[in-house]
Structure 1
């Protein structure tokens, strides 16, 4: 019998898995009150803003993939806000910058998360806004026990808050100290922000959709946009070492709306895997699966053996090299070619019996790859600000972080299903807007300050995000939603999970608990955009023979703690029986699934 840290939950009523137990249970409470999976996901999303503020916030973003009981065809909800109108390459160059800062108001994209959650509630939810927001309002107003990592994050940026970001110090350094682990913490300003959204909704009358639209207007054109506009004009210290004003304006807020889009999909081993478009890194997972198939070697599918790990790591390197050269929010992405079987065979032919230390983007449709000068110079050494222990951030004193993200999956008894990955707008990304109780994000750091690249900065363009929810279908019916935080590691850890569950036949919890690893041999998406060629980070539960063989392949193996990599969540539904299941990551002692 395979050991697991927890059981795979099973039931018929509803299942939730998220990166924080309070979000999971709040979402489950919505299901118990008759709400559907989308009502529950919105509740979880707003609760995550409160209880994981170092990993996401209202000023951040959220992509999601949904399938409804009425229409199982997956749809992507894009809550990734674009670059504001003033965010031009010329502006940043005029400030003497060749990289966008990793923290501070200058790095903020237009906030996308709240509008996306409200759009989801309008189009697919069933409950009124007041009921869905009630748990988040309660936790923000009356308090909740903070997880230790929140206080650790505040401690890391204490000097920045005290010397340069006084509004953040007022919220997070009460009594002159960071909050302690388990301390009951309140955010009255954010509670009031949510209450005002509810008041705006209720002033629109009894119609549920009209109420939600009124709340969206209050966010995009009303008191929230006005507060963002006022505050963004003030200069604050950022990770460039100098103070700069932000670029997000009220006009940018008013011009933005979350959108519904078609997913990018791959038919694979009897399943269809659905991801976001090429404005995100999601297709990296699809490319990697295609490359593994093209190897035509069953040993390539096992993430626990040296042969399997080597094949998967090399396939990931090739897919991430293509991400660097081709992915971005532009119409010229050669999407069809990148996901073709012919191209996968070309890429697979590059995998040998030695670990590559090169960045090798391909030539889909015969086109020459385009890389930034920063990457062509070698990208420099990676300054690692991600704690290997869960994909959560360790934070430099200037606020620079990477890999700061949450995740939530929900399935209900009717067959509605959602995978969502909220992120950005974390407490250390930018100074707190005191009237609102939250900061803006720093997602612009994923753009390049060079013309002609697939992810060059341009007003109105979405950053090439690392956020990567996943929905899996079988015979046209949704059967699984899954995802994880972890920045550039998100699709790497999901690859291991899918191989173990869909190919290896392991249960959800077995696949989540199994030893994890990831490659660092790719340009990081977060400031200062470094890479570590040939480095393979591995949980040290792998046996010595496997580690020795990996080193013989040429991998620079870096051991991590035995339970340290990934924060996976997953829910499933069997359309034939209606049975539901859920699992959640035990690493970090924070994520939980619940259901019945």
Structure 2
């Protein structure tokens, strides 16, 4: 029996592209049509998303990708998560009166990693030139694109703040002094000129790879780095979290000059014939693997994939996995992260016993031998951060919160993320979740048309933790693309924006595909849910014990059962939670793709 879906699952043999904006997906497909591979298409799609979703990502942001290259025949992770600047020390932040790193402004900035990661992908895995992948983004920046209502609303809410406190942002986002109207044609001529100048400098070198290297130099050691360095050296601005606080940033040209993106092995876990590949514990990706390790002991296939027991087990597993994230995850270059123990059968058999037929309201990290002191110190920091009484909303869900101020401050309009999945006819695959550099996160750099990230807010200003602020350390990002193999065959790229909710939405999506035989669109269209039971990664780092937000089209019967099990239910409107996309390659070579109908902008394209 066929199931109604909001749109078809795309199927073909030539190539598929799915992303969180229809223009970006079309750009990626155009690259495939011109003979590019999945990596070329992902890069072009990524730069296009910086133009059409500037409240969700930008050139000053970050980018992790999980990729499969047929040439190398292995899954790898490209890490474009920039680390903390050399002057970003706990002592410095406390000396300027900061106890919790703000969610926006100059102090929240780490080194921008996205551009170098895109160039690394293009150089080592792609086939096209810098010009070919940048030209679509330049077109939309120069000639305009229809501004999404959500972007226009974000700018309108910040217009007064920009005029008063971030005048460089007003120049970019308030053309002619006014906020752009929803769906109006919007241009970013400054960014178009930045990319055009970068192209001229890149093309002064001969050869594709040499031009890519020149582009990297131009961004991190040329005129772009010089503009960023000059701005951070002189600017003293309000960060948006505190009406009285005026701060200088710590990022410098030397920080940019020494940065380069890296390639590393994925963290993976085997589950019912699948091998799921994620970033390492410098991201939150392994929480999905931990949740699968816990759920391996339950008969998930026998459950209704939108029923109360399915939701209950998924949420309770995530509570345990995210509790461990808070204690143990961080940059492995700076801390010993016990991932092998956290994913072991013995550890998860013990942890699984904590999942009962009652909702937990306690934060229950596991105890790893040798880490008892770290556990106690981190729990003390979390308790000091407090518990929300008004609601914790990750960026995609912020539109559901009741706003208590007539004028938004920058920190009250958090940014979010975008996602891209691409599979080409040769079987190359990309899953990537670019983010940061939001128009509302940091003041625009004069003359460049873009702004920096605010990823430093994910550090704690307490010594001795895996997530303690330190120069050169990567923040524990929430960005978590996924790539899965079935019986050893790479076949499934998927992901979503959504801050701490990314793996929470990916878990039911994956389980519905792996256990229930649903196609990608059917699995995406079913009601979604998530919890804010654990501490948020974003300022002000609060949590809501026992909370679940559930799309109410699961039905009143399911909601009633969840309440009886002890969950604190927050009903979300239908079609309002999550922004999943996915692409799949079957054993016979058929390619499939799907995109969420939620927010009415993601799109899958293929043939």
- Do these two structures clear the TM 0.5 threshold for a shared fold by scoring above it? yes
User: Please, what is the CA RMSD of the aligned residues?
Assistant: 1.7
- Aligned residue for 1:594? 605
Aligned residues: 593
Residue in 1 aligned with 2:260?
Answer: 257
Q: CA deviation at 1:392?
A: 10
Give the superposition deviation at 1:11. 0.3
Counterpart residue number, 2:592? 581
Q: Deviation string for 1:6-48 (max 9, x for gaps)?
A: 0000000000000000100001000000000000000001001
Alpha carbons of 1:72 and 1:392: their partners in 2 closer, same or farther (altered >3 Å)? Answer: farther
Answering whether residue 285 of structure 2 is matched by residue 279 of structure 1, we say no
* 2:301–2:516 Cα contact (<8 Å) kept: no
SS of the residue corresponding to residue 567 of structure 1 reads: coil
SS of residue matched to 1:347: helix
Per the alignment, residue 209 of structure 1 pairs with 209
Q: Is 2:228 the partner of 1:228?
A: yes
Deviation string 1:351-409 (CA, Å, 9 cap, x unpaired) is 11211111111012353124154412363216535466599999982211446000001
Aligned to 1:343: 347
1:361 has 2:365 as partner: yes
How far is 1:138 from its partner? Answer: 0.5
Matched, 1:442 2:447: no
Match of 2:336, SS state, is coil
Deviation at 1:432, TM superposition (A): 0.7
Secondary structure at 2:270 match in 1: strand
TM-score after normalising by structure 1: 0.97
CA drift of 1:192 comes to: 1.1
In 2: Cα distance, 1:367 partner to 1:417 partner: 37
> What is the TM-score normalised by the length of structure 2?
0.95
How far off its partner does 1:71 sit? 2.4
Query: Residue in 1 aligned with 2:37?
Result: 36
Aligned counterpart, 2:468? 456
State the Cα distance separating 1:303 from its structure 2 match. 4.0
Q: Which moved more, 1:280-289 or 1:367-376?
A: 367-376
Structure 2 CA distance for partners of 1:90 and 1:393, relative to 1, 3 Å = farther
Q: Aligned runs of 1:31-70 on 2, under 5 Å?
A: 31-70=32-71
SS in 1 for 2:296: helix
Cα distance between partner residues in 1 of 2:39 and 2:217: 21
Q: In structure 2, what is the Cα distance between the partners aligned to 1:497 and 1:392?
A: 22
Q: Is the 8 A contact 1:63 1:79 kept in 2?
A: yes
Match in the other structure for 2:293: 290
After TM superposition, give the deviation of residue 102 of structure 1 in Å.
0.4
Out of 526, 530, 533, which is 1:518 matched to? 530
The residue aligned with 1:557 is: 569
- Please state how far the C-alpha of 1:493 moved relative to its aligned partner: 0.2
CA offsets per residue over residues 163-196 of structure 1, 9 Å max, x none? 1001111111223321111111111111111112
Alignment of 1:155-234 (within 5 A): 155-205=156-206, 207-233=207-233, 234=235
The aligned counterpart of 2:378 is 371
Write the distance in 2 (CA, Å) between the matches of 1:322 and 1:149: 34
Cα contact 2:305–2:516 (8 A) shared by 1? no
C-alpha distance in 1, partners of 2:215/2:231? 21
Partner of 1:384: 392
1:304 CA drift (Å)? 1.2
| SS, match of residue 553 in structure 2 | coil
Q: Measured at CA, do residues 591 and 64 of structure 1 come closer, stay the same or move farther in structure 2, by a change above 3 Å?
A: same
Structure 2 portions without partners, runs of 5+: none
Q: Which secondary structure state, in structure 1, belongs to the residue aligned with residue 366 of structure 2?
A: coil
Q: 1:190 to 1:55 in 2, by over 3 A?
A: same
Q: Does 1:466 align with 2:470?
A: no
1:511-568 Cα distance to aligned partner (Å, 9 max, x none):
0000000111010000000001111100010111111110011001110001111000
Provide the C-alpha distance between the structure 2 equivalents of 1:517 and 1:197, rounded to a whole number of angstroms.
43
Counterparts of 1:116 and 1:176 in 2: how far apart (Å)?
Answer: 35
